[in-house]
Structure 1
Amino acid sequence: MTDDPAVRCAGLRQVFGETVAVDGLDLEVRRGEVFGLLGPNGAGKTTTIRTITTLLPAPPDTVTVLGRDVARRRTQVRRLIGYVPQQLSADGTLSGRENVMLFARLYDVPRRQRREQVESVIAAMDLEEAADRPVKTYSGGMVRRLELAQALVSAPQLLILDEPTVGLDPVARDGVWERIARTREETGMTVLVTTHAMQEADEHCERIALMHRGSVRALGTPAELKEGVGSLDDVFRHYTGNTLAEAEKGGMRDVRAARRTAGRLG
């Protein structure tokens, strides 16, 4: 299984009623890379992420994570993944340490290793001084770093981030990425990230797939995608259309989710 990619989607299709959310998606994420999944609201990114993380059922033989079929080995796959959703996952009434300990239990970290793992990720995210404070007193950047600690407490081989820096100021955003980079250097972990921030994708992603209407329209390194087109913003417009209707395709649910998260982090 060591030769298998971190993620492979082969002809993945997800349909909800009359809406085709993902339409025959073919995608591979190499082990150890930072891979960006870009696209407008409604492109199918979140549905793809939820399928990879087993939150949505996958048809057999269409999605594998580190060689495991997501449809047949859901429990094994979940133990290999750390996931930071766009919506906040930390409980504001608990302390940072209590939140991370809760996720250690949810991820089934062995009891004898649990405390050591919790303390290790809290230190890695520079949250030791604030670990016993209620999370509702944290800044937006601290909350996101806490959620990274929650996702990393099980020492995952694949970290999946859905809009990890939405609502953060530039300093907090850089802090999140600095800690992701540090963890990758230490563990060789693969990172799959969705973002609407083109500069962020350009700076941190080794390869990028641009989704539109449920399938991949462009794939390559940032430099390859920009060649002859311009910036990543130009690449985005080229493959997804320039109209307001296309930009708003995700609808109110996507807008509300982004605003709610940004409001709580801001």
Structure 2
Amino acid sequence: MEQVPIIELKDVYKSFNSKKVHNGVSLSIRRGETITVLGGSGSGKSVLLKEITGLIKPDSGGVFIEGEDIVPMDEVELIRIRKKIGMLFQNAALFDSLTVAENIAFPLREHFKYTEKEIKEIVARNLELVGLPGIEDKFPSDLSGGMRKRVGLARAMAMNPKILLYDEPTTGLDPPNVKRINRLIKELQQRFGVTGVVITHDVASAFEISDRIGFLYKGKIVFVGTVEEAKNTDVKVLSDFIYGRLEE
């Protein structure tokens, strides 16, 4: 019997005013894989992540997390679903007025009943995981862009999620930090079995970290396949995008 997908979007439609963003999006994501969704600017990639977390409800269609349709759920029910999901935001979205430790501890205090000793241990363990031990007392303003991204990743992992959503994880980073983030994404998948959904323009990174590639074009997923299949695709809009021939 085939395993239930950990995430599934079924025939999802979403418009903002008169602009159709999703026009029948269907996508099935397997447990433990890393899938990257490519697409031009304004193609609705970030909206896809917000639909998966329940922050945006589609106009029609279903969004299933571990077989449960989250579209009809209210905010209280969604809290249970969101505990399964970690998110790395494009700009890391750290609170400037909080220390690194307080930033990582924030969702733990919001959603769990850990003691302060347990929280301190979780913070230290996750900073170690992202290669930044001992920076608990620093503030985001003390950190480089790459370090802020890694603290954001430590915060996402602190909740021990089954799913990690990455919104443009390498945008604005220099090549060494791009490599570092890509290595971390692969390590989290391999060590913890985390399912990763990545939204990016960075084709080279997508090829490095992904088990499969999806391509969002004119409101639909027009391609899903392995990295090799993506590189050799006869889907013209995808090959144009990959090789820099697509006007965004």
TM-score strictly above 0.5 = yes
Alpha-carbon distance between aligned partners in 2 of 1:181 and 1:139, rounded to the nearest angstrom = 22
Return the offset for 1:237.
Answer: 6.0
Worse-matched range after superposition: 146-155 or 83-92: 83-92
Contact 1:229 1:235 in 2 (8 A): no
Partner of 1:40: 40
Equivalences, count? 240
Partner of 1:10: 10
Return the offset for 1:84.
Answer: 1.3
Alpha-carbon distance between aligned partners in 1 of 2:47 and 2:175, rounded to the nearest angstrom = 28
Alpha-carbon distance between aligned partners in 1 of 2:168 and 2:198, rounded to the nearest angstrom = 7
Which residue of 160, 169, 179 maps to 1:174?
Answer: 179
Contact 1:198 1:233 in 2 (8 A): no
Partner of 1:109: 112
Alpha-carbon distance between aligned partners in 2 of 1:109 and 1:181, rounded to the nearest angstrom = 27
Partner of 1:81: 85
Letter of the aligned partner of 2:47 in structure 1? T
Return the offset for 1:109.
Answer: 2.8
Partner of 1:252: none
Return the offset for 1:58.
Answer: 3.9
Return the offset for 1:174.
Answer: 1.2
Worse-matched range after superposition: 114-123 or 6-15: 114-123
Return the offset for 1:94.
Answer: 2.2
Worse-matched range after superposition: 115-124 or 75-84: 115-124
Return the offset for 1:150.
Answer: 1.0
Map 1:1-266; keep pairs closer than 5 Å.
3-58=3-58, 62-71=62-71, 72=73, 73-106=77-110, 108-112=111-115, 113-227=118-232, 234-236=239-241, 242-243=246-247, 247=248
Alpha-carbon distance between aligned partners in 2 of 1:216 and 1:61, rounded to the nearest angstrom = 14
Alpha-carbon distance between aligned partners in 2 of 1:27 and 1:7, rounded to the nearest angstrom = 8
Letter of the aligned partner of 2:45 in structure 1? K
Return the offset for 1:235.
Answer: 4.5
Letter of the aligned partner of 2:158 in structure 1? V
Q: 1:233 to 1:14 in 2, by over 3 A?
A: closer
Alpha-carbon distance between aligned partners in 2 of 1:139 and 1:23, rounded to the nearest angstrom = 39
- If the length of structure 1 is used for normalisation, what is the TM-score? 0.83
Contact 1:68 1:77 in 2 (8 A): no
Contact 2:166 2:196 in 1 (8 A): yes
**Cα RMSD for the two superposed structures:** 2.3
Return the offset for 1:82.
Answer: 0.2
Return the offset for 1:145.
Answer: 0.2
Alpha-carbon distance between aligned partners in 2 of 1:176 and 1:104, rounded to the nearest angstrom = 23
Contact 2:34 2:189 in 1 (8 A): no
Worse-matched range after superposition: 125-134 or 194-203: 125-134
Contact 2:22 2:219 in 1 (8 A): yes
Identity of aligned residues (%): 27
Alpha-carbon distance between aligned partners in 1 of 2:227 and 2:242, rounded to the nearest angstrom = 15
Letter of the aligned partner of 2:25 in structure 1? L
Segments of structure 2 that go 5 or more residues without pairing to the other structure are none
Alpha-carbon distance between aligned partners in 2 of 1:237 and 1:226, rounded to the nearest angstrom = 8
Alpha-carbon distance between aligned partners in 1 of 2:218 and 2:165, rounded to the nearest angstrom = 21
Segments of structure 1 that go 5 or more residues without pairing to the other structure are 248-266
Letter of the aligned partner of 2:69 in structure 1? D
Contact 1:29 1:35 in 2 (8 A): yes
